[in-house]
Amino acid sequence: MKPKKKGANRTKHLLFSLNEEEYALVASYVKKYKIENRSRWCRETIIAHILKCLDQDYPTLFGENEMRR
């Protein structure tokens, strides 16, 4: 019997479709950078983008114009 890995079990699925151009772009990127686990790459790329956006949208005490003074 295999020992269980520590960490989150991935039980939720996310499915999306690409057109031919988008798929070709992803396929060429994966090949160029020798990405072996495309699922992990997609997951990390999406989560990194979300975290970056959330960090930029974080509420501040002062508005942007007030902070630039």
Task: Convert the pLDDT of each residue in 26-66 to its tens digit.
Answer: 999 999 999 999 999 999 999 999 999 998 887 777 777 77
Query: Which pLDDT score is estimated for 65?
Result: 75
Would you list the DSSP string of 13-39? -------HHHHHHHHHHHHHTT-S-HH
pTM over 0.85: no
Among residues 68, 10, 3, which one has the least CA distance to residue 40? 10
